[in-house]
């Protein structure tokens, strides 16, 4: 490796490439479509459904009746197919990921001469020249730096970092050393010479991009709860099957059927008992649950897109409802990522033309046709300030002919421009660090007052600039003007990256919803705390325990950090992998973590969090690592996503409540029918309608219910919470037993010789009980009467009409296929009116519950 600015020879280039590799990033692995589809079968309920389908298929071969098995397989493939399609569709939207342009020309010194080479051919040891506007091609150490400022936002979130080779001016608090430049960052102004120290995957950018593509095995809260539900269903189904099989064996022995018959008859009877037991397992499995979850997630994906949340991974839309912590970056998420003048304090109103001309002429920045800043963001903020006051900076700059200019340097801390003013005088304009400008204005008398104001601005983490001018006729250089001409202090300006208007309210909503918000930024502690104060996160009661710097964070062990990680509110001067480590530690404490970010530095944390939220204007690496993209870059969209997620979880609970009530009733009826000798008066095709078609309709109805802001007044659910809450369990058992009593009472009323007409009426009562119970499922978790909660529920009522129409068609024209005959109009009205008591009873129960809650308060 050569340390000379003469650069590498061709032989050294070859050796370096062999030793350290090419300057290329390993592309992220993409899942094949087949793998994407197979993953859908990892759903715990889908797995138990597969077992039920195989068992049902076995029964089908014995009885030559495959309708039930076909129905379950249809439910499985419909649920997995819908999930696959929506994730594939979302993945296509994210395939706009920008590939790194490895052929971008880079100026490097080779064999003592400057040559342009493609970025991918840069090797360790190369000497590379950096100019304003160019992207740094690899990691390296600066050999020369002239007024060099680097935009490190892709790695640290900070849009402007001064770089120097002078150790006396190194920023000890900076995320990366002041003489280091990193791949993927860009030169804002000035120029420099670097020697490459790392290329490709070995660069900081490469390490971050690699972590962004590592697969995280973190389970979603919903998946964990569905696993518990599937285990419960499996245990209950198997237990009931064993009890039923044993009861039937005992019954057969008591009646003598198994004791007196020949062995072939006994074997046949035992096989029948086994089939009944297996049927109980099949009945216990909620075929419609995977479809309900899938449809709910799919509907949420589409609806969230309208609220500027582009969901890439289906379960992320629900997981947002379970998050307990949001780790957010600062620049571009909480703030606008646009430097603006916060306030000015100019001392002499009569010199307004000089102020305007000085800002326009003593600047290296520009505004494009759309008002976007080109060049230094701080200087651009001053031009935007002029624009807001209807001043044309370009016309002012053209009218003042530049005679000489002195650029800003880290050592000098000011810039100056000598112009032939539009007023006819030769004027020196100077701006820079206020303390330096004040020191040069010897005759200024209000120095103490200005310093007090500066201290106030700096306590608010704002950048400050001082302005002065001097009339210098007969002087041709800035150096000469500074020596000979007395400077007059004009005033100061405070500049900041303002907080987005909607952020304080959105943060307040998240905090009131029991969600902790933590700022993780590459900025200084003072700036991070001030932004925290402005958004309502950092308060007067907070102490050093609530803040940590990146260097302190790296120095502590995981055990030490686990003791204070939940109390942290702000991490400043954070490096890219610090946020990922923070996420993992929070997850170890049982938190469900969402991460927001727009830079490559955020990608590892976005990938490992339960939900990664990238910004629409963020880097492609960040978007690829995320689960949801906020198209409007707005933090308020996060609060909206939380509301959607919580409402979705409630909708899933509503369907579980509805579905398990049906299954509970069906199990009891089958159990009683098999043990006490009477056959279940519902055919396989009728059960297929109840357990599959109606369940799918119910999934559509309950998945389509609109979100409610009321969920934001609740605390996040715990990972340990079961999807079936105590109120749900009471409702399932209570309503289920009531339905069983009604149905057995009807069978008792009909007597032993039941006609097909009576069986058709029984079938209709069974369906209409579930029909009206759907209203109770809709009202679960609320105290609002049905007639006051119809807004946005048109799909729900539309599905109900479909169910009612479907039942009428089946009963009227089902014939032998469904074992039905048409019912009279009077009987229809009687059945509908009588079973509607289920809904009115639910309304009364909710009203009394609401009244008790109100009285308690």
- Predicted pLDDT of residue 813: 93
Residue 28 DSSP SS3: coil
Confidence of residue 45 (pLDDT cuts 50, 70, 90): low
Across 547-558, average pLDDT: 92
Rounded to an integer, the average pLDDT of 7-35 is 83
- Confidence check: pLDDT of 310 > 50: yes
The pLDDT-based confidence of 783 (bands split at 50, 70, 90) is confident
Percentage of residues in the chain with pLDDT exceeding 90? 33
Q: How confident is the model at residue 637 (pLDDT cuts 50, 70, 90)?
A: confident
pLDDT of residue 435: 92
Within 8 A by CB and 6+ apart from 482, the residues are 416, 428, 430, 440
Taking only the tens place, the pLDDT of each residue in 383-398 is 999 999 899 999 999 9
CB-neighbour burial class of residue 339 (10 A; exposed 0-12, middle 13-18, buried 19+): buried
Greatest mean pLDDT among 78-82, 534-538, 608-612, 640-644 lies in 534-538
Residue 357 token pair: 């001309």
- Helix axis angle for 288-306 and 221-255, nearest 10°, is 160
User: Which residue in the list 126, 329, 523, 598 is annotated as catalytic?
Assistant: 329
Dist CA 19 CA 14 (whole Å): 9
Q: What is the DSSP string of 149-191?
A: EEEETTTTSEEEEE--S-GGG--TTSSS-TTEE-TT-EEEEEE
With CA atoms as reference, report the closest residue to 403 among 486, 465, 480, 351: 480
The dihedral formed by the CA atoms of 468, 469, 470 and 472, expressed in degrees to the nearest 10:
140
Residue with token string 């409610």: 708
Q: How many angstroms separate the most distant Cα atoms in the chain? A: 131
List Cβ neighbours of 838 (8 Å cut-off, separation of 6 or more). Answer: 735, 769, 772, 773, 775, 776
168-203, pLDDT tens digit by residue? 888 777 778 889 999 988 887 788 999 999 998 899
Which tokens belong to 74?
């249809």
Say what the pLDDT of residue 37 is.
77
For 430-462, how does the pLDDT look when each residue is reduced to its tens digit (9 = 90+)?
999 999 999 999 878 788 899 999 989 988 878
Burial-class residue 539 by CB neighbours within 10 Å (0-12, 13-18, 19+).
exposed
pLDDT in tens, 259-305: 777 777 777 677 667 766 776 666 676 666 776 677 777 777 777 88
Contact 127, 5 (CB under 8 A): yes
Confidence of residue 317 (pLDDT cuts 50, 70, 90): confident
Q: Where are the alpha helices (DSSP H) in 631-755?
A: 636-675, 684-688, 694-703, 726-750
pLDDT at 400 over 80: yes
Q: Determine the pLDDT at residue 167.
A: 85
What is the per-residue DSSP string for 227-239? HHHHHHHHHHHHH
Q: Residue 395: its pLDDT value, please?
A: 93
Mean predicted lDDT score pLDDT of the chain: 83
Q: Which fold has domain 308-335+501-641?
A: Rossmann fold (3.40.50)
How far apart, in Å, are the Cα atoms of 542 and each of 403, 430, 522, 568? 53, 40, 20, 10
Of residues 787 and 505, more confidently modeled: 505
Most confident range, picked from 304-318, 686-700, 832-846: 832-846
Confidence of residue 428 (pLDDT cuts 50, 70, 90): very high
How far apart CA 645 and CA 637 sit, in angstroms, is 12
Neighbouring C-alpha atoms within 13 Å toward the C-beta of 841: 15
pLDDT at residue number 135: 85
Q: From the centroid of its chain, how far is CA 537?
A: 20
- Phi, psi at 391, each rounded to 5°: -105, 130
Look-up of token digits 């920023």: 171
What is the per-residue burial (b if ≥16 Cβ within 10 Å, else e) of 284-304? Answer: bbbbbbbbbbbbbbbbbbebb
DSSP string, 557-585: -HHHHHHHTTT--EEES--HHHHHHHHHH
* Residue 362 DSSP SS3: coil
Residues 6+ apart with CB under 8 A from 116: 105, 106, 107, 108
Alpha helix ranges (H) inside 406-514: 434-440, 447-459, 478-484, 503-512
Q: How is the chain split into domains, by residue range? A: 308-335+501-641, 340-496
Q: Is the pLDDT of residue 245 over 50?
A: yes
Cα dihedral value 780, 783, 788, 792, nearest 10: -40
Establish whether 632 is a catalytic residue: no
Q: Are 547 and 565 in contact (CB under 8 A)?
A: no
Identify the pLDDT of residue 39: 74
Higher pLDDT, 40 or 733: 733
Query: How confident is residue 99, by pLDDT bands cut at 50, 70 and 90?
Result: very low
pLDDT, position 791: 72
Considering the domain 340-496 in this protein, what is its CATH number?
3.40.1110.10
The mean-pLDDT minimum among 219-233, 265-279, 585-599, 637-651 falls in 265-279
């Amino acid at each position: 490796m050569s340390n000379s600015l003469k650069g590498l020879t061709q032989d050294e280039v070859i050796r370096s490439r062999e030793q350290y590799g090419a300057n290329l990033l390993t592309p992220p692995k993409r899942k094949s479509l087949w793998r994407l589809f197979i993953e859908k079968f990892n759903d715990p309920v889908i797995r138990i459904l597969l077992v039920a389908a195989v068992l049902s298929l076995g029964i089908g071969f014995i009885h030559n009746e495959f309708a039930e098995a076909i129905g379950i397989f249809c439910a499985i493939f419909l649920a997995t197919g819908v999930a696959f399609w929506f994730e594939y569709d979302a993945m296509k939207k994210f395939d706009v990921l920008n590939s790194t342009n490895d052929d971008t020309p880079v100026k490097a010194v080779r064999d003592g001469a400057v040559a342009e080479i493609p970025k991918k051919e840069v090797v360790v040891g190369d000497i590379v020249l950096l100019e304003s506007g160019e992207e740094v091609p690899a990691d390296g150490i600066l050999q020369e730096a002239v007024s060099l400022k680097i935009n490190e936002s892709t790695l640290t979130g900070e849009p402007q970092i001064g770089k120097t080779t002078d150790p006396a001016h190194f920023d000890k608090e900076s995320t990366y050393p002041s003489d280091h430049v990193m791949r993927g960052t860009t030169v804002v102004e000035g120029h420099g010479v670097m020697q490459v120290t790392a290329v490709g995957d070995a660069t900081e950018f490469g390490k971050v991009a690699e972590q962004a593509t590592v697969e995280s095995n973190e389970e979603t809260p919903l998946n964990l709860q569905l696993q518990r539900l599937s285990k419960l269903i499996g245990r209950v189904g198997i237990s009931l099957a064993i009890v039923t099989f044993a009861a039937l064996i005992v019954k057969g022995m008591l009646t003598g059927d198994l004791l007196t018959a020949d062995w072939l008859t006994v074997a046949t009877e035992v096989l029948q008992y086994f089939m009944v037991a297996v049927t109980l397992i099949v009945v216990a499995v909620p075929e419609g649950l995977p479809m309900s979850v899938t449809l709910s997630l799919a509907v949420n994906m589409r609806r969230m897109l309208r609220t500027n949340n582009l969901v890439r991974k289906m379960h992320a839309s629900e997981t947002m409802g379970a998050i307990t912590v949001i780790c957010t970056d600062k620049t571009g998420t909480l703030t606008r990522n646009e430097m603006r003048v916060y306030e000015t304090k100019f001392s002499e109103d009569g010199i307004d033309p000089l102020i305007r001309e000085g800002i326009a002429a003593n600047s290296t920045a520009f505004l494009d046709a759309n008002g976007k800043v080109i060049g230094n963001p701080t200087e651009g903020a001053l031009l935007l300030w002029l624009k807001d006051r209807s001043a044309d900076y370009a016309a002012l700059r053209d009218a003042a002919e530049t005679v000489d200019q002195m650029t800003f340097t880290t050592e000098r801390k000011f810039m100056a421009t000598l112009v032939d003013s539009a007023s006819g005088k030769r004027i020196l304009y100077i701006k820079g660090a206020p303390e330096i400008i004040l020191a040069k204005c010897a005759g200024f008398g209000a120095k103490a007052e200005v310093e007090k104001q500066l201290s106030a601005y700096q306590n608010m983490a704002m950048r400050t600039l001082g302005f002065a001018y001097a009339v210098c006729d007969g002087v041709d250089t800035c150096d000469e003007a500074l020596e000979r001409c007395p400077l007059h202090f004009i005033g100061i300006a405070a500049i900041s990256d303002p907080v987005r208007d909607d952020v304080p309210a959105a943060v307040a909503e998240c905090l009131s919803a029991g969600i902790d918000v933590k700022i993780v930024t590459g900025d200084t502690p003072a700036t991070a705390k001030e932004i925290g104060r402005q958004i309502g996160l950092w308060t007067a009661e907070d102490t050093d325990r609530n803040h940590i710097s990146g260097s302190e964070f790296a120095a502590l062990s995981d055990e030490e950090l686990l003791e204070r990680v939940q109390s942290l509110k702000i991490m400043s001067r954070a490096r890219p992998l610090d946020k990922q480590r923070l996420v993992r530690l929070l997850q170890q404490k049982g938190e469900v973590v969402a991460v927001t970010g727009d830079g490559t530095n955020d990608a590892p944390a976005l990938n490992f969090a339960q939900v990664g939220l990238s910004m629409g204007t963020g880097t492609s690496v960040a978007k690829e690592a995320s689960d949801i993209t906020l198209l409007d870059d707005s933090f308020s969209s996060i609060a909206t996503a939380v509301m959607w997620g919580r409402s979705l979880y409630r909708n899933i609970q509503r369907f579980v409540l509805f579905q398990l009530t049906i299954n509970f009733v069906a199990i009891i009826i089958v159990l009683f029918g098999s043990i006490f000798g009477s056959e279940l008066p519902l055919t396989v095709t009728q059960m297929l309608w109840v357990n599959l078609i109606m369940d799918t309709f119910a999934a559509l109805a309950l998945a389509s219910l609109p979100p409610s802001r009321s969920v934001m007044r609740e605390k996040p659910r715990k990972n340990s919470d079961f999807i079936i809450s105590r109120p749900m369990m009471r409702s399932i058992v209570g309503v289920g037993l009531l339905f069983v009593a009604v149905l057995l009472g009807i069978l008792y009323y009909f007597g032993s010789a039941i006609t097909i007409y009576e069986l058709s009426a029984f079938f209709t009562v069974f369906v209409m009980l579930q029909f009206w119970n759907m209203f109770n499922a809709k009202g679960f978790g609320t105290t609002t009467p049905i007639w006051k909660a119809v807004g946005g529920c048109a799909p729900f009522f539309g599905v109900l009409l479909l169910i009612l129409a479907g039942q009428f068609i089946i009963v009227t024209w089902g014939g032998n296929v469904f074992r039905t005959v048409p019912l009279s109009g009077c009987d229809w009205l009687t059945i509908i009116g009588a079973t509607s008591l289920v809904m009115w009873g639910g309304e009364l129960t909710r009203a009394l519950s609401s009244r008790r809650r109100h009285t308690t308060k």
